[in-house]
Structure 1
Amino acid sequence: MTVSEPTSRAPRPRGSSLAGKAYWAMVRRVTLIAGAIDVGYIVLFAGLGASTLAWINGVSVLLYAAAYALIGRKKNTLALLLIWFEVMAHAALGSLLIGWDSGFHYFLLLFVPAIVVANSRGLAPAIVLGLLAYYLGLKAVCDAVGPLTPLSPAGLRTVFWVHVCLVFAMSASIAAFYRRAILSAERRLVEQAQTDGLTGLCNRLGFQTQAALTLARQPDAGGSAAVLLGDVDHFKQVNDRYGHAAGDQVLIHVARILQSHARQGDVLARWGGEEFLLLMPGCSPEQAEQAAERIRQAVVASRVAVDELELPLSLSLGVACLGPGESLQSAISRADAALYDSKRAGRNRVSRAWPAALPA
């Protein structure tokens, strides 16, 4: 069905919250990958005879394992400090020991997108400039000191190409992760924009979007389509006498009843205030009127618990079927007129407004 399960009102996640969750999920993932890479480095540098670098990578594995565990415990700041320390120290030691041409410094560049995304308290520009100063300073020191424990030319080329491939792969992985996070956040925002925050049903925008898609498939499905517009009777009195919290419970309760009577493929929405709108594709006039009557009877038979009271409810409905070539808005307008007929006739009833082309 097009409709989601009605829920009570809950705060919607803010954009900053979504970005924060995506950022820390990315950091934890990169931490795991980096630790696995350092395990491979232990083997690589041991094979190249660079035992000092092999031991350094062993320490790096332990640091990444600690950072991974800290993020899992929500100790994000300490974890981030460990990661910064590891990457900056590792880049410096590797570059000093076997030379700038080894490419250890490339890993410092992976910090830049993470810094910009995190943008903690607007400090991203200052942190990026600090990282640039460290990068350029390390280059100057390496030029002045030279490699302390140089590798053979073949070994140095091997390390360089390994670093280039790893940095490209990690950059692509980080970019792909952020793309998925952005698309996911965009889908959530679209859903929120089209969902009523109280009942969890479609709002007007959501209804119009889903209804347009449903009716676009209608010629292939065959049959007519009907709209049911319902209004909770004496709703203002519930709000005035029992408070808006009780009114909210009434709306959620009625939304659940409507959803239980909607079919797969129907489009159900909170149309505004205490009004609900149901589009039923492939539904004859008789079926639509019968469905409306079943909904009305279900609402009357139910009760809403408010404090120690059980409030009786009733629902007035207007039903209209789309005539040949008629727009959905025109049918909704006729259903609205039929709804007011039900109100004027004493409420708690179903009225219909068929177009001239349909049987009365």
Structure 2
Amino acid sequence: MLVLRAVIEDYIRTQEPVGSGALTRGHKLGVSSATVRNDMAALEDEGYLIQPHTSAGRIPTEKGYRYFVDKLATVVPLSKAQKRGIRSFLSGSVSLDDTLRRSAQLLAQITGQVAVVASPSLARSALRHIELVPVSTVTLLMVIITDTGRVEQRTIIVADRPGDAEIAAIGSHVNAISMGKSLRRASADVHASAQEEPAGTSRALIEAIAKVLDEMATQERTSNLYMAGTSQLAHGQSADMNVIAPLFDALEEQVVLMKLMTTLSEVTQSHGVGIAIGSETHTPGLLNASVVTSGYGQSTAGDEDDDATGSSATGSEPVAFVGSIGPTHMDYATTISAVRAVARYLTEVIANEEDPDADPDGAA
């Protein structure tokens, strides 16, 4: 296994087949070159290495990378200076969207790969406040603010709009029964409260609000994606267009990418992140690529009996993900450390959105 780790580390660094002589010279393995050759042959027989040409050295297989990531890779946490650099760069953001955009740019710079950051999903967010703003005699603007700092606007058209004082009272009533709940739970509770109202303008408006919340919960199953690093990956020293071209095609399929990275972020694997290598992505364009991702934030929305299946949120699910996509010979140690660091910072940001009085620099 020491030989396997040495082969993979050398191949990640050089992208050239690794021979026994280079391993003996470059690593203190404590054995002869002949023993290393025998070990490499055994690793090839077991499917961890492959010899691309008869006279060439060996390169890792997908199985080899998986074992390396799970058992052999040594991930060194980012230094305090690096963490301060991340915090300094991201703390200059003017909004949550700006923070997410900067996070993607920063992660791409650190790894030299494609960085993908998803905005917090409305479906996993808890409601903080709803504002009703009269716009015309038949139109209101409904502003929805979540605990993750996301702001959405929807237009409500009613045949007979209540007066301003009544609208304000309805807004207070809806906030009282919605605060801290998921969109779906809030929709159900608001709809139930409407049934207690006598037929009229107030009931019609409350039902319209419930409908908006339900539509948002139903339709919002994907988030905005912030992506960076495609150019530097394409022009990097190790760029292989046979690998890069299909990867770029896969990046265009954002729904597929969202599903893959969301699933990975929910299942923590090695080193506190989710990792899919090659065929594990179940995506044709990523057969020669690896994906490293981590969830950030934590859902606080109360979702008891959230859907017809009776599933409920436990509060342990991340609200979104941050990840890096690159060739299978990526520098896993650096990528894992960077993804974890950015995810932790974004979790702090989301926590501070939930608590406006929190100290943004209080977390380590």
TM-score, L = length of structure 1: 0.25
Larger Rg: 1
